[in-house]
Amino acid sequence: MKYLTKGFKNITLIKLEVTMKQEKWVEKDFEEVDCFRCGTKGKLLYKKELWGVVKCEKCGQVFISPRLTEEGRKKIYEDHSYFDTGVYGFSNKFNLAMSLQRTWSNDRLNLISELLNKNLENKKLLEIGCAYGLFLNFAKQKGLEVTGIEYSSTAVKWSKENLKLNVHNGEIETIKLPENTYDVVCFWDVIEHVKNPELFLKSVRRVLKKDGVIVFSCPYFNSVPATVFKSNWWTLRPEQHIWQFTPDTLGKLFGEQGMKLVKVIRNPLSRINLFRFDSITVAAKVV
Ligand SMILES: [Zn+2]
């Protein structure tokens, strides 16, 4: 129990660390969007300031509408403070967030190793949204041949200069990577940010080998914190998390692209999700 209490204090600490510079958003920074799957308007669940949290009545997909326009969202990702959180960013000092990040990275690699029958040597891994390249560098040290894609030019520059990583600046939908190439495609806390999850997944499927695996994490909307705290849920962050998934809607999304979820890990005490009470780690394969 003592261990658990310590964990909860730690969560508060992380929450404080991810507080970013606040932009003043006004109505003209917002746009209304429809469900990416059905093209229909969502039904309002609740409001948070100028953002609406809505649910598609046809397929159950939850999303943000009105949401910030692409231009507005881009401003957030180019902000230098975006990755300086200790969780995704880099710090020379020891801190708890970095230590948790290492725990997650270690177990993410263990899961990938298990999915590839314990043979990582020379396998090709693509990470989408690789931030400062910490996971990518870790995977490289384990013998994987790594490539990254990152939206923020600030982070790309840093990982190229400091970690000598092979990282492309941009998005998977527009970068011309060779088809049928990667044994693993991973994206940690990314799918909730992308413009259109269907187009995103089609692009992932294109570069993945037929027997390859996809491994990713994301917040989930039927988690206890999301259900209890609603608009005060700390991971709602509607300025960036424009799609909200559940294991069900993820299963639907992957199913439509000829894939299936082979593993969904919810346990916040498993090392891969340690102290993440509202996030899941998922593995998927081509059917
Ligand atoms: Zn829908």
Distance 66 CA to ligand 1 centre (A): 16
Would you say residue 15 has pLDDT above 50?
Answer: no
Residue 5 clears pLDDT 70, i.e. is over it:
no
User: Separation of 59 CA from ligand 1 center, angstroms?
Assistant: 4
Nearest CA to 186 among 111, 97, 103? 111
What is the CB neighbour count within 10 angstroms for residue 141? 10
User: Residue 176 pLDDT more than 80?
Assistant: yes
Q: Separation of 53 CA from ligand 1 center, angstroms?
A: 14
For the residues 30-43, what does the mean pLDDT come to? 96
Condensed to tens digits (0 to 9), the pLDDT of residues 189-208 reads 999 999 999 999 999 999 99
Distance (Å) from CA 1 to ligand 1 centroid:
42
Confidence of residue 93 (pLDDT cuts 50, 70, 90): low
35 with 58: CB under 8 angstroms?
yes
Beta partners for 124?
Answer: 145
Going by the DSSP 8-state scheme, the letter that residue 234 receives in this structure is T
Q: Among the listed ranges 118-122, 243-247, 262-266, which one has the minimum average pLDDT value?
A: 118-122
Residue 16 binned pLDDT confidence (cut-offs 50, 70, 90):
very low
Q: What residues are neighbours of ligand 1 (ion), with CB under 5 Å?
A: 35, 37-38, 56, 58-59, 61
| Distance of CA 275 from the midpoint of ligand 1 (Å) | 31
C-alpha 224 – ligand 1 centre gap (Å): 23
Q: How far is the CA of 62 from the centre of ligand 1 (A)?
A: 8
Give the whole-number percent of the chain exceeding pLDDT 90.
Answer: 67
Higher-pLDDT residue of 285, 77: 285
Separation of CA 41 and ligand 1 centre (Å):
8
Strands 145-150 and 167-169: parallel
Q: Is the pTM of this model over 0.95?
A: no
| 219 CA to centre of ligand 1 in angstroms | 19
Task: Please tell me the predicted confidence (pLDDT) of residue 188.
Answer: 94
pLDDT category at 29 given cuts 50, 70, 90 is very high
How many Å lie between the centroid of ligand 1 and the Cα of residue 19?
Answer: 32
Higher pLDDT, 282 or 12: 282
DSSP state of 271: G
Task: Looking at the chain, list the stretches that DSSP marks H as alpha helix, in order from N- to C-terminal side.
Answer: 2-17, 70-78, 96-115, 134-141, 153-163, 197-207, 224-229, 247-256
Strand 124-128 versus strand 67-68 pairing type: unpaired
**Distance (Å, whole) CA 239 – CA 261:** 28
In the prediction, which pLDDT does 109 show? 93
pLDDT value at position 38?
Answer: 96
Give distance in angstroms: CA of 50 to centre of ligand 1: 22
pLDDT at 94: 60
CA of 247 to the centre of ligand 1 (A): 15
Distance 172 CA to ligand 1 centre (A): 23
Q: Quick one: pLDDT band at residue 172, thresholds 50, 70, 90?
A: very high
Question: What mean pLDDT do residues 115-133 have?
Answer: 91
**Stretch 31-36: mean pLDDT:** 96
Neighbours of 256 (CB within 10 A): 12
Are 77 and 152 in contact by the 8 Å Cβ rule? The answer is yes
pLDDT at 272: 81
Nearest to 274 by CA among 58, 11, 1, 32: 11
CA of 38 to the centre of ligand 1 (A): 4
Give me the residue label for tokens 């959180």.
85
Residue for token pair 């390859």: 212
Residue 60 C-alpha to ligand 1 middle, in angstroms?
6
- CA of 249 from ligand 1 middle (Å) equals 10
pLDDT of residue 3: 36
Average pLDDT for 106-128: 92
The domains of the chain, with CATH numbers, are: 2-286 (3.40.50.150)
- DSSP label at 29? G
Q: What is the mean pLDDT of the chain?
A: 86
